[in-house]
A and B are shown apart, each in its own frame.
Chain A
Amino acid sequence: MQLMVEARNLRKTYKRPDGSTIEAVKGVDLEIRQGEIFSLLGPNGAGKTTTISMISGLVEPTGGDATIGGYSITKEPMAAKRLMGFVPQEIALYPELSARQNLAFFGRMYGLGGKELSRRVDELLEFVDLSDRQNDRIDTFSGGMKRRINLAAGLLNSPPLIYMDEPTVGIDPQSRRRILDTVKLLREEQGMTVLYTTHLMEEAQELSDRVGIMDHGEIIAIGTQTELTQQVGEEDRLEFIIGAQEFEESLAEGIQQETAGVTRILYNPPEQVSDDSSESTPSRLTVFAKRGRTALPQLIQNLDAAGVEIQSVAVREPDLEAVFLALTGRALRD
């Protein structure tokens, strides 16, 4: 199968204002095949945007290179950029202009004009279902509507390849649904290749043919969803929410030895949701076990005996979340 995007050893080092440096991306290799939906899944700050910025020519890589449809993004940027559409994580639109003016401007930049341009703009407004608001200024739009125009602006040149950087961030479930459906539609009806980034496991799971899991500037696992979940084996995942209390490593080791089928226990202490919030996530205990349902009764007994207050428990089949957890020891949403 033909490769649409091929990145080799991409690296990016940023300078911070205080003079120190940060390695945002540390040697990423990536292959995206023609016609597939590929997701980059990773928590905030993993380096998803930086990676996308390098393979779209926004940011010069500190090292490595990428080709788009065979054209090097650093050496033949014009030819490479003609093949791609780009939907940035931010609402990259002029707030003072109307939806139609925004689309018409970016369309003109792709060399469209006259009837052709206005037909394409009509089509896209129709496609994102905002024809009735086309003459309103972007700054009067809701978050979800902005997202949809932001997406339409990436489709103006009917590109064979589109990058979407967290296109569902900060919007309501209804708008999110609409955007996810749009992505599937683009691939099914127009055969587009899609690179989709997200920090939500559910989105990656629903959309992607293949997934790259990213953390701390590196792709730590890559493959189809089945391939990835096989990496963590056939283990189920038991998620305990426990009372706020000290939980020591030695306790985890003891329970692991005493309970048949348990291979690993991870403890995540409570964390503040955000800097300006007094809310915090509950203490969480994640237990990997061969046959989760069978191990559960004994596990509960042992935890109880150790004086751990169990508030709730859930059994999860192997999924991408489990892969991330297994590889990093952290939950994806932290």
Chain B
Amino acid sequence: MRSILTIILNDLKIFFSQRANLPGLLIIPVLLTLVIGWSLGQIGGGGPTRLRVDLIDLDQTSMSAKLIEDLRSANDAIVLCPLDNDAEDFCRLREEPLQLERAIERARTGRTSALIVIPAGFAAALEEFEIFSVDYYSLSDPMQPGPVLQSLNAVLQRASTASMTTGVAAALLTNLTAAFELPPLETETLDGFLGALYLRSQEMLTEQPAPVRFRVADAESASEDGSMNGFNQSAPGMGSLYVMFTVLGGMAVLLRERSQWTLQRLMALPLSRAQILGAKIGVYFSLGMIQYFIVFAVGAALGMDFGSSPAALLAVMAAFVLCITALTFALAPWIKSEGQARGLVLLLSLSLAPLGGAWWPLEIVPEFMQTLGHLSPVAWAMDGFHDLIWYNGGFIDVLPEIGVLISASVVLFAIGIRRFKYE
């Protein structure tokens, strides 16, 4: 073990003593993170395009259903959980029921943007034109209402306006029948009429363009400071891109070590082949992690979010670096020259990164490109980072992503280790 560490430290020392390595490790990724982060912040591309909102309907009436329907159309970024959950379990419910307690916990820890509870008796209260309350739980600052609360307010306002219309109409009818001494209307007829009136006024209010339509993409409504969000995308994205550049660059270094015979000299030492290989894998894994730390440190300095689970974040980083390290060792045996290695590094990094959503979030590209994108390990890493950074997820939320990356690593290592060229 000591020899392995000695080799790793020595190789890192060599890497850092080569001045030509520093622009690729430090300067360019940092600059790109800044530029992409600010740009994404300006156009609002740095945040989630979908908002996870838990909704518990204790009323279960046609009126509450109507409210939910309105909420959906008021802001198509809102995904109501569990109602509108998709096949990929965007709601992260993991097939467990969503009771009030769990939903409150989810909102409190920031895993959802908000929790909306429609109370029992909501419809009745509306009909009776009584005061009712819809419970709203969220981490966002009530003084600066987020997109969910704004949408909810708009929808509720419409509901109560409609309810008021019916209330006024009912009062008017009662007064009129009294004034003209007409026989009082049968309750059934009255209810039917008022019900129809409620729905009609709702419809009219809906057809009328809402005074404000909220979209998450509006930079101002996405967070307190739009530019911050940009780094939530650009730091993990550029970090992952440069992890690929740095780690895949190992293909050329392995080749050089064979041609300059330092690898052979190691083999003449009393070391097993497994120790040598383990050390070399350790070197590129360490370099990848260092690369991530550099870019994330810049993100941190600019107020990037890290979510609430540092351990999970570290695990996603490690899984991605491991996967790229494995890819490096799987490809290395086929490389014949340093020029060929450099070309392959460029080709892979520059295709896998955008495909996997390192430059812009995959959520804004067409469905089939998202599917295709998941051929790239970057997509899985970015999914994990988004889960943690945008949605405050925990370890368990990123297990699928980590699982995919580790499985790929195992397959790639199996190829790379079997084919590793010692001679």
Q: Please indicate whether A and B come from the same complex rather than being unrelated chains.
A: yes
Q: A58-B423, A88-B264, A92-B262 are in contact. Are A106 and B17 (CB under 8 A)?
A: no
* B266 beta carbon closer than 8 Å to chain A: yes
* A306 beta carbon closer than 8 Å to chain B: no
* A93 beta carbon closer than 8 Å to chain B: yes
Q: A59-B423, A105-B6, A109-B3 are in contact. Are A96 and B18 (CB under 8 A)?
A: yes
Q: Which of A44-73 contact B (CB under 8 A)?
A: 53, 56-60
For residue B271, which residues in chain A have a CB less than 8 angstroms away from its CB?
Answer: 109
3 cross-chain pairs, A with B, having the tightest CB-CB distances, nearest first = A92-B261, A90-B261, A86-B268
Q: Mark A86-105, 1 if CB is under 8 A from B, else 0.
A: 10101111111100010001
A-B contact pairs, 5 of them (CB 8 A): A84-B268, A94-B262, A105-B6, A108-B3, A110-B269
Q: A58-B423, A78-B272 are in contact. Are A109 and B6 (CB under 8 A)?
A: yes
Q: Which of A153-203 contact B (CB under 8 A)?
A: 153
* B10 beta carbon closer than 8 Å to chain A: yes
Which A residue's beta carbon lies closest to that of B273?
A77
Task: Please tell me if the beta carbons of B269 and A81 are within 8 angstroms of each other in the complex.
Answer: yes
* B14 beta carbon closer than 8 Å to chain A: yes
Partner of A92, one of B17, B265, B423: B265
For residue B267, which residues in chain A have a CB less than 8 angstroms away from its CB?
Answer: 57-58
* B13 beta carbon closer than 8 Å to chain A: yes
Partner of A153, one of B10, B17, B265, B423: B265
Total residues of chain B contacting the partner, CB 8 A = 23
- Per DSSP, chain B at the interface is helix
For residue A97, which residues in chain B have a CB less than 8 angstroms away from its CB?
Answer: 10, 13-14, 17
Task: Please tell me if the beta carbons of B260 and A92 are within 8 angstroms of each other in the complex.
Answer: yes
* B270 beta carbon closer than 8 Å to chain A: yes
Chain B min CB distance to A230 (Å): 36
Q: Tell me, in angstroms, the Cα distance from A99 to B111 when the chains sit together.
A: 56
Total residues of chain A contacting the partner, CB 8 A = 30
Interface residue ranges, A against B (CB under 8 Å): 17, 53, 56-60, 77-79, 81-82, 84, 86, 88, 90-97, 101, 105-106, 108-110, 153
Q: A92-B262, A92-B264, A96-B18 are in contact. Are A105 and B269 (CB under 8 A)?
A: no
For residue A82, which residues in chain B have a CB less than 8 angstroms away from its CB?
Answer: 270
Chain B min CB distance to A14 (Å): 9
Interface residue ranges, B against A (CB under 8 Å): 3, 6-7, 10, 13-14, 17-18, 260-262, 264-272, 336, 422-423
Which B residue's beta carbon lies closest to that of A110?
B269
Q: A56-B268, A81-B269 are in contact. Are A91 and B261 (CB under 8 A)?
A: yes
Task: Please tell me if the beta carbons of B261 and A109 are within 8 angstroms of each other in the complex.
Answer: no
Which A residue's beta carbon lies closest to that of B266?
A109
Chain A min CB distance to B191 (Å): 88
For residue A56, which residues in chain B have a CB less than 8 angstroms away from its CB?
Answer: 268
Chain B min CB distance to A104 (Å): 9
Q: Tell me, in angstroms, the Cα distance from A91 to B259 when the chains sit together.
A: 10
For residue B265, which residues in chain A have a CB less than 8 angstroms away from its CB?
Answer: 86, 88, 92, 106, 153
Q: Tell me, in angstroms, the Cα distance from A77 to B268 when the chains sit together.
A: 9
Partner of B268, one of A17, A81, A91, A108: A81
For residue A95, which residues in chain B have a CB less than 8 angstroms away from its CB?
Answer: 260
For residue A153, which residues in chain B have a CB less than 8 angstroms away from its CB?
Answer: 265
Partner of A96, one of B3, B14, B269, B336: B14
For residue A57, which residues in chain B have a CB less than 8 angstroms away from its CB?
Answer: 267-268
Q: Tell me, in angstroms, the Cα distance from A90 to B259 when the chains sit together.
A: 9
Q: Tell me, in angstroms, the Cα distance from A39 to B336 when the chains sit together.
A: 34
Task: Please tell me if the beta carbons of B270 and A78 are within 8 angstroms of each other in the complex.
Answer: yes
Which A residue's beta carbon lies closest to that of B7?
A109
Task: Please tell me if the beta carbons of B6 and A108 are within 8 angstroms of each other in the complex.
Answer: yes
Task: Point out which of A79, A88, A109 has the most chain B C-beta atoms below 10 A from its C-beta.
Answer: A109
Task: Please tell me if the beta carbons of A110 and B270 are within 8 angstroms of each other in the complex.
Answer: yes
Q: Tell me, in angstroms, the Cα distance from A57 to B10 when the chains sit together.
A: 23
Task: Please tell me if the beta carbons of B3 and A93 are within 8 angstroms of each other in the complex.
Answer: no
Q: Tell me, in angstroms, the Cα distance from A58 to B422 when the chains sit together.
A: 8
Which B residue's beta carbon lies closest to that of A156?
B269
